[in-house]
Structure 1
Amino acid sequence: MGNFTEEQTVFAQAVADFCRREAGTREQRDALTAGGTELHSQELYQKMAALGWAGILVPEEYGGAGAGNVEMCILLEEAMRGNAPIGGIGPTLITAAAYQKFADEQLKKEVLTGVANGDSLSISMSEPEAGSDVANLTCRAEKVDGGWIINGQKTWCSNAHFATSILLVARTERTPQKHEGLTQFHIPAGTPGLEIQGIDTLGGREVNDLYFTNCRVPDSAVVGRVGNGWNQLMAGLNSERLILAAMQLGVAERSFADTLAFISDRKQFGRPVGTFQALRHRMADLATEIECTRLLVYSVAEQADAHPDKLLPREASMAKLKATETSKRMTIDAMQMMGGYGYATEFDAERLMRGAIISTVYGGTNEIQRDIIGKTFGL
């Protein structure tokens, strides 16, 4: 457990035990996810919320645990290592952090109390022509008496089909600088003028297209300041990248454990395949990469806790880059070492691989992460 305190060690064990008890078998996970087609089980998530874990970062005055980034990483690492189908937790934590920093008191109380009680949130930035270049977005919010009228399309929006609300980034003004004139809006589920359509993916029902057609929201829906949306997005990058890194660390650890069990049991030529040098050395390399990733993730978490108002562009991008690349390598190698069994849906290897590969794309592609890291060195 590294440098964990006794309380943190107990917490990690509690999460691991919960996942083993509630989602430890394939049968349990299939029952929770409609046969694996859904990535998030609200039933399981509500049980975690009842234990105080869904509101891990929510301040105590809103019903949360008021814990820090290290505790958050423990929760995410153990939940993903335990194969818990709570895919909605990442976007929820990312979005909740924005409300906590920028929403007014009334909206903050409404949203954060809901998160602590198990509500899921969604954040919508990407558009068909605004992915890595998110500031190129064109979804428009026009000011009218008493509120705003929103028109436009969003895409690749995680959680939107079951979220209690969506944090929308829309353009409220056109300026010569495309990063200016962006504003964040609180869009409750079921708001008239919003249509949500699922996008079929390898991972099942996960992301969505959003269509806004004369969608009216009140002035109170503005989160933060009008025109300050870009700066507010930038302020949340530490949290977003650390959340994604911790989750993929857990995925890599789960894949390693499953692979180790398989190659220790599977026999060919009269001996376990894991005892052959080719696989033994590969597992040694992967174990080393995972341990390096773990040290990096928790180092960034400790820095974020020690300096909550400091942006950590290099460190947070490194954590996201390293964790997702490690997870991708681990899960692809797992399929190779398991042979045909790694490709069969009977095992979790193929599902873990699908999730690991897309992790290098969402939350800022790894090419963008490398670019950010390079710029911090003046390149």
Structure 2
Amino acid sequence: MDLGFDESQQMLKSSARAFLEQECPSSMVRALEEDPRGYTLEFWRKMADLGWLGLPFPQQFGGMDLSYFDLVILLEEMGRVLLPGPFFSTVVLGGLTLLESGSDEQKSDLLPKIAQGSIILSLAITEPSALYTASGVQLQATLRDSSYVLNGTKLFVPDAQIADKIIVATRTQESTDKTTGITLFLVNPETEGITITPLETIAGDKQAEMNFTNVHVPASAVLGNVDHGWDTLSHVISLAAVAKSAEMLGGADRVLDMTVEYLKQRVQFGRPIGSFQALQHHCANMATAVEGCRFVTYQAAWRLSQGLPSTREVAIAKAWVSDAYRKVCALAHQSHGAIGFTSEYDLQLYTRRAKAAELAYGDSDHYRKVVAESIGL
């Protein structure tokens, strides 16, 4: 296992950092928190021009044909600047699900549009239970004649208010084995019977509740095989968990840099407060946590890229990084003192997103249980 970057990956990382630091300042992050769409078309097109929107897709579908590990490298840099917008929902959630289980016709139709920046996708997984497990999928899809009728509710659907297509996880068959009977549908959110209600979130990101009332979708909208969608969905949840860990890693690393910079500049008792041992220890603990995040995230991403069994590594990464990001932000607030708690200072932007990311695609407690089971407990 080699977790080092090759030359092209290092170029991707450095060029992404330079672009994002210039094009995505915190002022834009703040402004888009208040914008109901949560992104700008101009910036979206710039990412398309860079090839980022098609980064993990094959060239035959207009993509760059890079690896999942390369995508994780890019997401880490996006996490450093708290990139707003539908990149995660479109490329990671919608795009990778489509790539894994879509028919040739579906992929040929939609993946090039994603790469071109002409379509936004999302994935509706969770329901009122907020579970990312098979038992959490309860939205009913009933076959009637040549179409399916969907009834139920999805919660915390990212970017649903701007999505052109949403992949919806449904239950098409009741079974004692909850992993059986799950089917994915590619749905137009403007279909009659769908109601989308934006939700207020701690991170200021754009999530929504979707209610389905007798929503008719054709059988051709099925993504993958009927009743066997959990294999795809569970794998995409793992991909999303590590991708979110990469964003958290980038955010934690930026919080560390922000804190070190502040401690060098803030003078008290005639010297920079970074010279005080207690604050040095805070930063040392933060740096240790960040390096741990980097290792477990890269390890899980590498195994996923190689197609190796990775259930344990994904769980370790998401559990560790979720806790570590929160810890890094808490130590940063302690080190900054009062200014770190003001809305004008950028630290609070990271702290709020750390909490939201901790809960996304399975929280720490869920993944600690997975790790415990993997070691025979």
TM-score normalised to structure 1 length: 0.92
Deviations 1:88-112 (A, max 9, x none): 4256313321111111111112221
TM-score normalised to structure 2 length: 0.93
Q: In the alignment, which residue of structure 1 is the partner of 2:314?
A: 316
257-266 or 90-99, which deviates more: 90-99
Supply the AA of the counterpart residue of 2:74. L
CA distance in 2, matches of 1:324, 1:120: 27
User: Is the CA contact (8 Å cut-off) linking 1:198 and 1:205 kept in structure 2?
Assistant: no
Deviations 1:50-104 (A, max 9, x none): 1101211111111111101221111011122134334642563133211111111
Q: Which runs of 5+ in 2 are unaligned?
A: none
Give 1:34 shift: 5.6
Are 1:329 and 2:341 counterparts?
Answer: no
User: Is the CA contact (8 Å cut-off) linking 1:54 and 1:115 kept in structure 2?
Assistant: yes
Q: In the alignment, which residue of structure 2 is the partner of 1:16?
A: 17
Q: Which runs of 5+ in 1 are unaligned?
A: none
CA distance in 2, matches of 1:4, 1:137: 38
CA distance in 1, matches of 2:340, 2:87: 26
Supply the AA of the counterpart residue of 1:15. A
Give 1:235 shift: 2.8
CA distance in 1, matches of 2:132, 2:29: 33
How many residues are treated as equivalent by the alignment? 375
Task: Give matches, 1:125-136, under 5 Å.
Answer: 125-136=125-136
User: Is the CA contact (8 Å cut-off) linking 1:97 and 1:236 kept in structure 2?
Assistant: yes
Supply the AA of the counterpart residue of 1:374. A
Supply the AA of the counterpart residue of 1:252. A
Task: Give matches, 1:5-84, under 5 Å.
Answer: 5-24=6-25, 26-31=26-31, 33=32, 35=34, 40-84=39-83
Give 1:258 shift: 1.4
Supply the AA of the counterpart residue of 2:5. F
Q: CA RMSD in A?
A: 2.1
CA distance in 2, matches of 1:294, 1:320: 11
Give 1:295 shift: 2.1
Q: In the alignment, which residue of structure 2 is the partner of 1:107?
A: 106
CA distance in 1, matches of 2:267, 2:359: 37
Give 1:42 shift: 4.3
The SS at the match of 2:156 is coil
Give 1:370 shift: 0.6
The SS at the match of 1:360 is helix
User: Is the CA contact (8 Å cut-off) linking 2:157 and 2:207 kept in structure 1?
Assistant: yes
User: Is the CA contact (8 Å cut-off) linking 2:248 and 2:322 kept in structure 1?
Assistant: yes
Supply the AA of the counterpart residue of 1:347. Y
Supply the AA of the counterpart residue of 2:113. G
Q: In the alignment, which residue of structure 1 is the partner of 2:94?
A: 95
Q: In the alignment, which residue of structure 1 is the partner of 2:351?
A: 353
Shift in alpha-carbon separation, 1:36–1:349, aligned structure 2, 3 A: farther
Shift in alpha-carbon separation, 1:114–1:311, aligned structure 2, 3 A: farther
Q: In the alignment, which residue of structure 2 is the partner of 1:247?
A: 247
Shift in alpha-carbon separation, 1:35–1:358, aligned structure 2, 3 A: closer
Give 1:143 shift: 0.7
Q: In the alignment, which residue of structure 1 is the partner of 2:5?
A: 4
CA distance in 1, matches of 2:260, 2:40: 28
* Identity between Structure 1 and Structure 2 (%): 28
CA distance in 2, matches of 1:136, 1:84: 29
Q: In the alignment, which residue of structure 2 is the partner of 1:292?
A: 292
Q: After TM superposition, what 4+ stretches of structure 1 lie above 3 angstroms from structure 2?
A: 26-31, 34-43
Task: Give matches, 1:165-176, under 5 Å.
Answer: 165-176=165-176
Give 1:130 shift: 5.0
Shift in alpha-carbon separation, 1:14–1:34, aligned structure 2, 3 A: same
Deviations 1:117-163 (A, max 9, x none): 23332111211135255524321111122211111111111121122
